[in-house]
Amino acid sequence: MSGEKEGAGPRVGDGTGGRVPGAFDVHNRPIADMRGRGQIVTMRTKMPPAFSATLTSPDGVYELAFRPLDEWDGVIEVTIAGEAMTWHVVRGDEEENGTVSISGMTVGSDVVWRDQFWFELVMKPEPIHINFWGNQVLWRRDIAEGADGRL
């Protein structure tokens, strides 16, 4: 016996969030320290300050505006091809290489694209760009022409 109690491990309130090393979040991203194991280390981070950006896409140029709701959630207001949408930001991530992004679902985009996608708005490194993912495949990437309120 190693002297450990049966069932010992991460617990709520112990600072680990109940996460086990090597665990992945619902988006199949590592949520624990994986250094030395060939994994990208991603840590959840608080929402950035409000900002807006103008992006170029196959649908034309569009403006998006991000607004934090609290430390952990926010919304993006966007109009693409004449359709106004509100996308809820449910996650902010910072990778050990300095990449900072916010992500969520493109609710309402089925009117324009006949589908909804997971979006990942990458703010660092610049230029700001947004990746749209469907079934774990990158569908497209739109790049900012210019951005207000750079981080």
Asked if 95 and 64 sit in the same domain, the reply is yes
Asked if 33 and 61 sit in the same domain, the reply is no
pTM reported for the whole predicted model: 0.68
Residue 150 counted as domain residue: no
pLDDT tens by residue, 46-56: 888 999 999 99
* Domain assignment of residue 91, given as a range: 44-145
Amino acid at 144: A
The pLDDT confidence band at residue 39, using thresholds 50, 70 and 90, is low
Asked if 48 and 33 sit in the same domain, the reply is no
Q: Tell me what pLDDT residue 124 has.
A: 87
Higher pLDDT, 16 or 112: 112
Asked if 19 and 48 sit in the same domain, the reply is no
Phi/psi zone of residue 23: left (φ > 0), alpha (ψ -120 to 50 degrees), beta?
beta
Asked if 81 and 61 sit in the same domain, the reply is yes
Asked if 79 and 66 sit in the same domain, the reply is yes
Cβ(44)–Cβ(146) below 8 Å: no
Cβ partners under 8 Å of residue 76, min gap 6: 64, 65, 66, 67, 86, 87, 89, 104, 121
Count up the domains in the chain and report the number. 2
pLDDT tens by residue, 76-129: 999 999 999 999 999 998 888 888 899 999 999 999 999 999 999 998 888 889
Asked if 78 and 119 sit in the same domain, the reply is yes
Asked if 19 and 91 sit in the same domain, the reply is no
